[in-house]
Chain A
């Protein structure tokens, strides 16, 4: 570790992995509820389990982003973190707030939670992914601002590299667009319109900047390729991201009461959204091929390459599959969307955080890389989780195509639940793939506890 204060990333990464386990366990509950409808009912209804699953994902990715930033920024800016104490305080606040929110979801009915947490003062709850009670939302803002202050001050007192700048723009964008979660007008069209300013401009906008800068950082460290080359690539990728992704928001404005011209804007620009992801894949492979050194941490390089490929497949290809308005007319709100959501989040954001953890964690534990034995287990985890996710996506896609046919496109459309019963086989296969994913995740955690001959710190 070049700077002592980088070590504050460690608790963030540990918390991220812990919450990741919770997310996957609830994913398995949800998958089972798809086929055994009354599983855990009425104690944990589907909507509650889903909230826990998606909110844990968001929170652990945020832990990963913050941990990644705390690790990376001192090294990029060549100075100690502005305030490690503040970073540690924010860690505990965020962890306690996150845990309390999850307990709240599980302990009381959602309407009671809304009543107890002051939803009547400012109604923000009950919208997909933004279900958090008002105190949690405010907590997220406080933690985000303290975090941004800390990171920004560090960059301001140190070197301002392109990688650090892109990360800062991404993180500030994340905070700014979250503010739209506080805007919930009675007019449902306006509500939905601005809801996407948080959700879409996060995952298909500013989060990709965070992704790109993490990827660039790890590629510099592991390949030894010239910074000038890598940073030029980074600028090109994030340019492509934002010039396609911002107007690409239009692909959510086809069927929610917004004017029809969005079908053109949304289709054309979002059809271009795979390009930045493709560029990321080419970037990762190119840099690794042109490497000037062989970094002992093979696992981190594998995550970097995997992230490029899977983000392109999940976000790029599976996004394109249903983004054109005439196609989306039939696929909107079906299992096709679920298929895309799973692989895109895994390929882009889960993998980039795991890449960052894979690279930084051994260094924070006083070695350049884990032992060969530990890396082999981590790579098994990589392949099990990644292949499981490919199959989850394929089965959901099959379910989605059948759903579209049975419920929307055939001459005699079937009611929703009748169609669901006919595609249950695919939900079962998705659930088994989920079990394989969990096995991969357990191996991943085990890899941290495997000893062996470790690579000495550089």
Chain B
């Protein structure tokens, strides 16, 4: 870098550029928020779905699974699990996990959910599946 480009010029570009692009980011975020209600299906969120999300969180499901592609990569994507297994199939899978795991296989813990809790989890996963996420994942396998 030649002498014509001084440290104070570099500093001014840093502050100016940062402020400009941060404001642009805020503007884009603001626009996103005005569009989200049409995409995130917030009008359909029931107390049951909220309960499902809480169960999803306090059991740290994201520690193994992905949800809309985000999370850990140890176990399958769950945003579309109801497409693969159906409501009852999903519940039956969660319910039937052996306490001591499956020898030699990646094993999911037995969480001892009640029927209401299972209904809430499936309601939450179906809600996530209904979100307009630009047609992701590429196929039903997730």
Contact = CB atoms under 8 A, between A and B. Distances in A.
Chain A complexes with chain B: yes
Nearest to B25: A246
Interface in A314-362: 329-330, 332-335, 337-338
Given A189-B36, A256-B68, 7 more contacts: A33-B74, A187-B42, A255-B134, A256-B69, A332-B137, A416-B75, A416-B77
B107 A255 contact: no
B139 A131 contact: no
Nearest to A195: B70
Given A128-B72, A232-B7, A257-B132, A408 B58 contact: no
A125 B57 contact: yes
A247 interface: yes
A15 interface: no
Q: Which of A125, A243, A334, A414 has the most CB of B within 10 A?
A: A243
Nearest to B131: A257
Nearest to A165: B11
A42 B101 contact: yes
B66 interface: yes
Q: Which of B57, B62, B140 has the most CB of A within 10 A?
A: B57
B100 interface: yes
Interface string A103-120: 000000011001100010
Interface in B92-125: 99-107, 109-111
A173 B68 CA distance: 28
B132 A239 contact: no
B18 A242 contact: yes
B101 to A, nearest CB: 4
Given A189-B39, A189-B40, A247-B24, A236 B141 contact: no
B57 A235 contact: no
Interface of A: 33-34, 36-38, 41-42, 45-48, 50-51, 110-111, 114-115, 119, 123, 125-128, 131, 162, 184, 186-190, 192-193, 228-229, 231-233, 235-236, 238-239, 242-243, 246-247, 249-250, 253-263, 265, 329-330, 332-335, 337-338, 407-409, 413-417, 419-420
Given A50-B72, A110-B58, A242-B21, A333 B50 contact: no
A114 B58 contact: yes
Contacts of B50: 186
A28 to B, nearest CB: 15
B60 A416 contact: no
Contact of B74 (A34, A110, A256, A258): A34
Contacts of B88: none
A135 to B, nearest CB: 16
A162 B11 contact: yes
A417 B106 contact: yes
A257 B104 contact: no
Contacts of A188: 40, 53, 67, 127-128, 131
Contacts of A131: 60, 63
Given A187-B40, A189-B40, A247-B24, A126 B131 contact: no
Contacts of A417: 76, 106
B127 to A, nearest CB: 8
Contact of A258 (B1, B36, B75): B36
A37 B57 contact: no
Contacts of B134: 254-255, 260, 263
Contact of B62 (A128, A254, A262): A128
A416 B76 contact: yes
Nearest to A194: B29
Contacts of B6: 232
Nearest to A244: B21
24 contacts: A37-B105, A38-B102, A38-B105, A41-B107, A50-B63, A111-B59, A186-B50, A189-B36, A189-B40, A189-B42, A242-B21, A243-B17, A246-B18, A246-B22, A247-B25, A256-B133, A257-B132, A258-B39, A261-B28, A329-B138, A333-B137, A413-B138, A413-B140, A415-B141
B68 A257 contact: yes
Nearest to B19: A242
A50 B21 contact: no
B70 A192 contact: yes
A128 B67 CA distance: 11
Nearest to A41: B101
Contacts of B56: 126
A255 B14 contact: no
Contact of A126 (B62, B68, B138): B62
Contacts of B73: 333-335, 337-338
B141 A408 contact: yes
A57 B56 CA distance: 24
A333 B66 CA distance: 7
Contacts of A332: 69, 136-137
A231 B5 CA distance: 12
Contact of B106 (A33, A50, A119): A33
Given A255-B136, A258-B36, A333-B70, A127 B21 contact: no
Contact of B104 (A38, A246, A408, A419): A38
